[in-house]
Structure 1
Amino acid sequence: MTVSKRFIIAAKLLFAYFCISLLSGCQQQPEPQPMQEQLESAHKQQEADDLTLLCQKLEKNMLEINNQRTTFALEQVNQDLKVCLPLQPLEKQKALLQRSNQMYRNFLHVERSASQQLTFEQYAFDMAQHPTIHQSHFEQFTLRDQYLLKHQGQAYVELVDATAAEAHYRRSPDYLAKIFAPYMPDAERIFIENLALQNVEPAFSDQTLLIEPFEIVRRALFWEDYIHTYPKSSYLKDAKHLLYQYKIFLFKGLKNTPVSSNYSDPMDVKVSTLEELKKASKFKRSELALQSSLFLQFLEMSPEQRRKYAAGQTGLSPWQQMELYINLRNPAPNYQKDCFSDSVCLE
């Protein structure tokens, strides 16, 4: 083999070796990239930081809601509450709940002149009779009234109907039941959800009961059971007040819808009330059942028996005699909250 041929073969072998080495180098693994777990962790940390910031700003945003803001701004705060409430302990949740009460009071506040107030109440009455907007009235409203009336039903805003003593806006009882209750302990959740259902429609107006004795008994039994089931509830005092109030409705009534004139005998008691008391007296392990039974006994007592039981207490009215006999006591005489407008008892 000539030198030139050897040189050519050697050159080819060298070229082949070079190509193999080059190819091998091209197939080397790339530099290690961040692991998927690290990327996910960083993403989660960013989300957590964003959520922390959102929740830190929440109370400030709630305080900024006033009667110049829109329902859109209110709904945005409510969405933020849904995000942040599951992360908070009960005490913080209740603090935010109180803040939400003030937030809605600020949002629904309207300054009116006397003539504007009269026009507004007339409109509310007309709406109760014929749910249409009277343009001649509408133009006389304050700008805030015009806005709120156009946006009824949004952000849990509603106009209380004309059965109320004075027409006014309110936050729907559904609000706390849907925004707060799902994230609270059972005792608080059940209190809010049930009071919301009870207060969708008013129980009374202008010293007149608007619910039947059957419903009064049902609600009284619910609150009695709630007190026994959740003795450590943060709403225990409110539940006891509600139970007492429903007993007052059942055994006494209100000024314009009294249960009896003087409790002289069974004929002096509303028939519907008497029937429900007879049914209630047969329940087992219930304080309401015992008091219903005692009430029925009291109706059969003579004036002499009643005086004897009063043990020397003179000047008692028939109601006071009956109250004494069935041992109906107010658990908190200085209680000042309103438990018949919302899904919590309001100051």
Structure 2
Amino acid sequence: MSKPFLSAAKLSFASFCLFLLASCQQQPEPQPVKEQLESSHVQNDAVDLTLLCQKLEKNMLDINSQRTTFALEQINHDLKICLPLQTLSQQQQLLSRSNEMYQNFLHVDRTAAQQLAFEQYAFDMAQHPTIHQSHFEQLHIRDQYLLKHQGQAYVQLADSASSAIHYQRDPDYLAKIFAPYMPEAERVFIENLALQNVEPAFANQALLIEPFEISRRALVWEEYIHKYPKSSYRKDAQHLLYEYKLFLFKGLKKSPVSSNYADPQDVHVSSLEEIKKISRLNHSELALQAKKFLQFLEMDSGQRLQAAGAKTGLSAWQQLELYLNLRNPVPHYKKDCFSDAICLER
């Protein structure tokens, strides 16, 4: 009686133990160490990113004319990381710092002899870009460095509309580094101005672009003002529109649209054709002014005097200016809008 009973009891106890062992093996093991490590890694990344962005502005201020293009490229890389995390006011603060950063980086304190050597070298390179000039060694050591590193970190040599040959930041810089992370109105302004200023509008009191391009740019800014009335760049867009209207209807000293606006034959052919084309557009202030321009060319002196408000002693251009109501919407404007992707303080 006892042996079969004990054998059955042993068998039952062994089965129970096997069941418990199987149950224990099926339960997933807790991984508190792994979870803590992952959480710590995420927190460290956040802290590192916060620290990077906090130090960014100081790093930009530390850039001077002793630094390398590599230092600029590192800051531009950090800007791409931090800009998406900033408000518009913070982005514009960094943009202002970037202006200062490039000014400091590109500054060269030359002697009179070094200035002359720089201008001569730049002129010779423009005439014969593949010829190495023997007086390269006469240049300031910073000029030697910058000339060797043109094209890096958005550094370029330019003969702008408003000054002699000099180094400047490529207009594409703001369009590629800042614009993608800014609100739509600011992004569109920067991208359009960068695109326009790749090809200068004028130099030495002469227009460098055709009437077609002048009117195209004017229409871009007219549309921008209507579409983004609350843009932080609204006044700059208004000034640009005004300037391109002057280029279209008046020209510049060395490339005037007309000598005296005596009649249609007294207007440059390509300008007249473009103004006629613009006059046929709808829903455009520029189109209305183009129509009035053509009307003015058909007026006699009495009609023009009346159109100018019966003011005597005015030139033909001054009479036309009054008739078109072509006034500066931003008086006393002091910025340069023709060298970068934003309008810069002079």
TM-score scaled by length of structure 1: 0.90
Distance 1:214 1:200, change over 3 A: same
| Paired amino acid for 2:324 | I
CA displacement at 1:84 relative to structure 2: 0.1
| Paired amino acid for 2:322 | L
Which deviates more, 312-321 or 129-138?
129-138
Looking at structure 1, the residues matched to 217 and 261 of structure 2 have their Cα atoms a distance apart, in angstroms, of 24
Looking at structure 1, the residues matched to 305 and 70 of structure 2 have their Cα atoms a distance apart, in angstroms, of 64
| Paired amino acid for 1:75 | E
CA displacement at 1:311 relative to structure 2: 2.7
Select which of 123, 126, 136 maps to 1:125.
Answer: 123
Looking at structure 2, the residues matched to 290 and 164 of structure 1 have their Cα atoms a distance apart, in angstroms, of 31
SS at match of 1:334: coil
1:171-210 aligned within 5 A: 171-210=169-208
| Paired amino acid for 1:140 | Q
Offset from partner CA, 1:285-320 (integer Å, 9 cap, x none) = 000000000000001100111112223322211111
CA displacement at 1:135 relative to structure 2: 4.0
Match of 1:9?
none
Looking at structure 2, the residues matched to 24 and 45 of structure 1 have their Cα atoms a distance apart, in angstroms, of 39
Q: Which runs of 5+ in 2 are unaligned?
A: 4-9
Match of 1:158?
156
Is this contact kept in 2: 1:124–1:162, CA < 8 A? no
SS at match of 2:336: coil
1:79-228 aligned within 5 A: 79-132=77-130, 134-161=132-159, 165-228=163-226
Select which of 40, 47, 50 maps to 1:42.
Answer: 40
Offset from partner CA, 1:156-205 (integer Å, 9 cap, x none) = 00001488751100000000000000000110001000100100121100
Distance 1:204 1:162, change over 3 A: closer
SS at match of 1:155: helix
Is this contact kept in 2: 1:125–1:161, CA < 8 A? no
Distance 1:60 1:163, change over 3 A: closer
Which deviates more, 312-321 or 78-87?
312-321
Select which of 277, 295, 298 maps to 2:296.
Answer: 298
| Paired amino acid for 1:334 | H
Match of 2:65?
67
Identical columns (%): 72
Alignment of 1:325 with 2:319, yes or no, is no
Is this contact kept in 1: 2:308–2:320, CA < 8 A? no
Match of 1:3?
none
Match of 1:312?
310
Is this contact kept in 2: 1:128–1:162, CA < 8 A? no
SS at match of 2:78: helix
Which deviates more, 289-298 or 310-319?
310-319
| Paired amino acid for 1:188 | E
Alignment of 1:256 with 2:274, yes or no, is no
Looking at structure 2, the residues matched to 100 and 265 of structure 1 have their Cα atoms a distance apart, in angstroms, of 50
CA displacement at 1:115 relative to structure 2: 1.5
SS at match of 1:160: strand
Aligned residues: 334
Is this contact kept in 2: 1:204–1:211, CA < 8 A? yes
Offset from partner CA, 1:88-118 (integer Å, 9 cap, x none) = 0101000100000000000000011111111
| Paired amino acid for 1:239 | A
Looking at structure 2, the residues matched to 36 and 189 of structure 1 have their Cα atoms a distance apart, in angstroms, of 43
CA displacement at 1:338 relative to structure 2: 0.2
SS at match of 1:170: strand
| Paired amino acid for 1:258 | P
Looking at structure 1, the residues matched to 66 and 77 of structure 2 have their Cα atoms a distance apart, in angstroms, of 20
Select which of 249, 254, 274 maps to 1:276.
Answer: 274
Q: Which runs of 5+ in 1 are unaligned?
A: 1-5, 7-12
CA displacement at 1:46 relative to structure 2: 1.2
Distance 1:168 1:289, change over 3 A: same
Select which of 218, 226, 231 maps to 2:229.
Answer: 231
Offset from partner CA, 1:232-260 (integer Å, 9 cap, x none) = 11100000000000000000000100111
